[in-house]
Amino acid sequence: MALLPVPQPFSLELTTARFRAFGLDRATVWEDGALYRAVQGRELRLSAADGGVEVDPLDAETEPVVRRLLGFDFDLVAFSAWAAGEKLLAPLVVRFAGYRPTLAPQPFEMLVGAITAQQVSLFSAVAIRNRLVEQFGEQVGRVWAFPPRERLAAVSEDELFSLGFSRRKAEYVVGLARSDLDLEGLALLPDDEVKAQLTSLRGLGEWTADWFLARYLGRSRAWPAGDLALRKAVRGLYGDVDVRATGARFEPFQNLTAHYLLAQYLTV
């Protein structure tokens, strides 16, 4: 086990809240004050430590995963300084100081999770995704590795339907897995082109593309204006506004603003 310093401010409890707010997540398990993931056939464990996290094992394969899971690249110092001038938003930023939005380690996993969450509660989405992981993933210690793209490309829509996916979502997942879209290569493209590439696939609309920008690529100006929870949070603070247009108010911190607005709905 080794210490990995995390950019400050940082709270492991706040940062990992989304992994327990909607039920046990088989692919990212929070248990006894530690977070677990499967990385290259090994169980990765993260726990709080002064100035950062204790990581076991820590090496060239696991460190990039930790950095994504703990949102290392978000500049919370600059965000907090900017938010101090936003009278209505500032109390939330102070309340959740140290919350670093997590980024999905893999693009395919993120998109399948987004498809699963379309138009259902997040509790239902997590339960269905868990069944997918247990059926087609590999157990590593107390967690399951998310099934790779090639594994899901080989399954039938009926198999996914039997796990709780709707017929349409089963079609979307299999179609994504079998598509020739270079998901890793999207990181090299500007936001608009990423959205155009994703929405060219059946079942991936603007909501999914916006969350891909926010929760996989970590783009600073990602603003999922079509998300119902975000719309509720924005209007709860700013009244009956045009949520998409209001995103310009938070330039250039739309992504962090969205996450901090949604943080109030997490169980922490």
What are the pLDDT digits (tens) for 183-225? 999 999 999 999 999 999 999 999 999 999 999 999 999 999 9
pLDDT 10s digits, 105-133: 999 999 999 999 998 999 999 999 999 99
- Inside any domain, residue 172: yes
- Inside any domain, residue 266: no
- Inside any domain, residue 46: yes
Q: Which CATH number characterizes residue 201's domain?
A: 1.10.340.30
- Inside any domain, residue 149: yes
pLDDT 10s digits, 155-168: 999 999 999 999 99
Instruction: Indicate if the pLDDT at residue 3 is higher than 90.
Output: yes
Instruction: Report angle CA 118, 120, 122 to the nearest 5 degrees.
Output: 95
Per-residue confidence at 1, pLDDT binned at 50, 70, 90? confident
Per-residue confidence at 14, pLDDT binned at 50, 70, 90? very high
- Inside any domain, residue 159: yes
118 and 170 together in one domain = yes
pLDDT 10s digits, 135-156: 999 999 999 999 999 999 999 9
62 and 124 together in one domain = no
Among 29, 49, 72, which residue terminates a domain?
A: 72
Mean pLDDT calculated for residue range 19-38: 95
Instruction: Indicate if the pLDDT at residue 263 is higher than 60.
Output: yes
Tally of domains within the chain: 2
Mean pLDDT calculated for residue range 62-81: 98
122 and 66 together in one domain = no
58 and 142 together in one domain = no
- Best CA proximity match to 214, nearest among 71, 99, 15, 46: 71
Among 215, 236, 253, which residue terminates a domain?
A: 215
- Inside any domain, residue 228: no
44 and 111 together in one domain = no
114 and 34 together in one domain = no
208 and 163 together in one domain = yes
pLDDT at 192: 97
Mean pLDDT calculated for residue range 7-31: 95
Among 72, 97, 123, which residue terminates a domain?
A: 72
- Inside any domain, residue 211: yes
Instruction: Indicate if the pLDDT at residue 268 is higher than 80.
Output: no
64 and 111 together in one domain = no
Per-residue confidence at 266, pLDDT binned at 50, 70, 90? confident
60 and 144 together in one domain = no
Which whole-number Å values give the CA distances from 216 to 87, 177, 222, in the listed order? 29, 17, 11
40 and 130 together in one domain = no
Instruction: Indicate if the pLDDT at residue 267 is higher than 90.
Output: no
19 and 113 together in one domain = no
- Inside any domain, residue 199: yes
50 and 125 together in one domain = no
pLDDT at 181: 97
Mean pLDDT of the chain: 96
Parent domain of 176: 107-215
